[in-house]
Amino acid sequence: MTTHGAGVLLKLGGELLEHAAGRRDVARAMHRLRDAGPLVVVHGGGREVDAEMAAKGIAKRAVDGLRLTDSDTLEVVVGVLAGRVNTRLVAAARVAGIPAVGLTAADAGVSPVRRADTYTAADGTQVDLGWVGKPVGTEAPVLVTRLCDAGFVPIIASIGADADGQLLNVNADTLAGHLAARLSVEQLLIAGGTAGVLDEHGDTITSITGGLLEQLVADGRASAGMVAKLIACREAHRGGVARVRIVSGKNTTNLDECPGTTVGGQ
């Protein structure tokens, strides 16, 4: 983006995008955010991937919210995220008056990706994630920056490709945290189905510092899906993103006013 430190990177959980009504609400929320400055969107689509895998008889396996991805799983993930979910969201955004452009992390100028190393789970277990990618690089993504400068809203599916052209499944939270730091946005907003990080009683933890974040990840109090979000928040904050929030995006068109958790420094 031309003015570093401005704008929002919005990560949308797939649970918000399954139905037309949800996509309409999300598109209206995106319109509000864009009124305040440049907007970049990264989306998941895990539930639709799960449904497609079940229909094909492919078992789901995951660790700390990261999907273990063999070749059959990868084929489903690419088709669902880069195809159905991305295209439907772009179409909904266009209806809401947003000049949206659909992309993946495999597109030039979005994010270089390499195959992830063996993953150390929260419980210390070493896990081979399969065809899973890790976003790399320290430069601002050229294509994303130019689209924003021209007034467009990039909507990015979390599919990447390595230097050999191998497609890779990239966790959407991981990609969002990485891009937020690379773009020097003012705010990373992770919107999903729960009102932020919940404590053992199901109540929202309104604020988390770095020390508590590390504890939640290490001692297993954070749910599997929340671990990836917290790690993404940590990367964004370390990368200079001033405001990092995890919020509920259900049944709302104003994500800035949603209940949630603010993730800060030490």
User: What are the structural domain ranges in the chain?
Assistant: 8-263
Is 22 an active-site residue? Answer: no
Residue 58 near residue 72 (C-beta atoms within 8 A):
yes
Average pLDDT over residues 208-226: 75
pLDDT confidence of residue 224: 64
Tell me the pTM. Answer: 0.92
How far is it, in rounded angstroms, from Cα 192 to Cα 194? 6
Q: Residue 143 — φ and ψ, nearest 5°? A: -65, -45
At residue 6, does pLDDT exceed 70? no
At residue 54, does pLDDT exceed 50? yes
| From 13, 65, 229, 249, the catalytic residue | 229
Is 46 an active-site residue? Answer: yes
Say whether 258 sits in a helix, a strand or coil: coil
| From 14, 160, 225, 260, the catalytic residue | 14
How far is it, in rounded angstroms, from Cα 58 to Cα 50? 9
Question: Per CATH, which fold does 8-263 belong to?
Answer: Carbamate kinase (3.40.1160)
Q: For 93-146, how does the pLDDT look when each residue is reduced to its tens digit (9 = 90+)?
A: 999 999 999 999 999 889 999 999 898 887 888 999 999 999 998 888 999 999
How far is it, in rounded angstroms, from Cα 18 to Cα 11? 15
| From 7, 13, 45, 46, the catalytic residue | 46
Average pLDDT over residues 199-223: 79
| From 13, 107, 173, 249, the catalytic residue | 173
Average pLDDT over residues 23-38: 94
Amino acid identity for residue 163 in this structure: A
Is 173 an active-site residue? Answer: yes
